Amino acid sequence: MHELQVTESILNIALKHAPADKVKKIVAIHLNIGELSDLENEWIQQYFDYLSKNTLAEGAKLVIERIPIRLKCDSCQNEFEIKRDEIKNIKCRQCGNKKCSLIAGRDYFIKNMEVI
């Protein structure tokens, strides 16, 4: 897996938004990651702790919100959420149609961060 590369991007983006004259320390970074991603939460935090040494983000906690998989029915436009293990049996909750389009669940997003 490419957790290391992903973690590096997260750190770089966070530091970019933290001007040294205004931010003393980054305390937490909030991420939205889609349920469809295979990213491992624990690994990201471990890599992050390692990469962020001696930066403003040292010690920051990564708070990961998993974004549910959302589908939209191609036939009746109904939107609904499913769990990852329900993928084997996708069906519109309203009309039973099996053709549905993915509208969320692939997210890979840094929402905001807490700083002092």
Site for other proteins, rule CB under 8 A: 1-2, 6, 9-10, 13-14, 17-18, 23-24, 27, 31, 36-38, 74, 84, 87-88, 90, 98-102, 106, 108-116
Question: CA nearest 11: which of 56, 78, 41, 74?
Answer: 56
> Residue 57 Cβ, how far from other proteins at the closest point, in Å?
12
105 to 22, 25, 31, 93, 116: CA distances (angstroms): 34, 31, 13, 18, 32
Q: Look at the chain and count its residues.
A: 116
> Residue 90 Cβ, how far from other proteins at the closest point, in Å?
4
In this structure, the strands spanning 26-34 and 61-67 are parallel
User: How are strands ordered across the β-sheet holding 100-104?
Assistant: 79-82, 69-73, 100-104
The 47-86 site mask, x for binding Zn ion (CB under 5 A), equals: --------------------------x-xx-x--------
Query: How many chain residues bind Zn ion (CB under 5 A)?
Result: 8
> Residue 36 Cβ, how far from other proteins at the closest point, in Å?
5
What residues make contact with Zn ion under the rule CB under 5 A? 73, 75-76, 78, 92, 94-95, 97
